[in-house]
Amino acid sequence: MALTTLPTAALANDAVDNTKLDLADNYAFTGTVSGTPQGMTLINSTSSTTTVGQFNIDNVFSSTYKFYRVYMRVEYSQNTGFEMRMLDSSGTARTANYYYNDLSMFNNGTSALYYGTNVSSWFNGRPSGGNVAGGGNRGHHYVIDFYDPYGTSVTHTFQKLMGWHDTAGFYYSGTFIGHNTNQEAHRGFTVLGNSSPNIIQHDVKVYGVTNV
């Protein structure tokens, strides 16, 4: 270990002189850090190349956090796309009371507005499919925020997405904002294909945002 001698005063006060440490070296830490950590904590990391009709990201929401950030990629083989539903405290998928607005812009300069009022799912992958199959980083990519999904009030979601739109024949990006009016705790979510099985790959990471 490339560590030079500390000044006598620093040693007496149990202090570390950072000008005397070689920061390119490796050091073992055996002490304790006090204070409140800030930022995001990884709760779940899921990756699969197995073709499925749906997949659950379960037991990720709790009373520990109010805010959650999800990074997700879903690749599918059929042009019927996929949907998202919340899982209640027993792990059962809720199939009603979903509302959303989805404002999309295609890369040919046109735009579209999709919406749902008291429907069975958030249709956040419905208009896309077959032409994105083939592996790699294809599919739909998402950055998703949930607000207080484990609370006993309305669950809100805010999503940014990018993927392929089969009907339009163009890649597109969109802003998807929705809520579920079931006033209950949700412990996770499920993503399910509109035809089974059509989800051929998925990657998901769920983070809790530290309450401050």
At 88-107, the pLDDT tens digits run 999 999 999 999 999 999 98
pLDDT for the residue numbered 196: 75
pLDDT digits (tens, 9 = 90+) for 10-55: 545 555 555 555 667 776 767 665 666 678 999 999 999 999 999 9
Mean pLDDT across the stretch 119-143?
A: 75
Q: Which domains does the chain have, with CATH numbers?
A: 37-209 (2.60.120)
pTM of the entire predicted model: 0.80
DSSP string, the chain: --BPPPPHHHHHTT---GGGB-TTS-----S---S---SEEEEEEEEE-S-BSEEEE-S---TT-SEEEEEEEEEESSTT-EEEEEEETTSPBP-S-EEEEEEEEETTS-EEEEEEEEESSEEEETT--GGG-SSTT-SEEEEEEEESTTSSS-EEEEEEEEEEETTTTEEEEEEEEEEE---S-EEEEEEEESSSS-EEEEEEEEEEEPP-
pLDDT for the residue numbered 125: 84
Percent of the chain with pLDDT over 70: 77
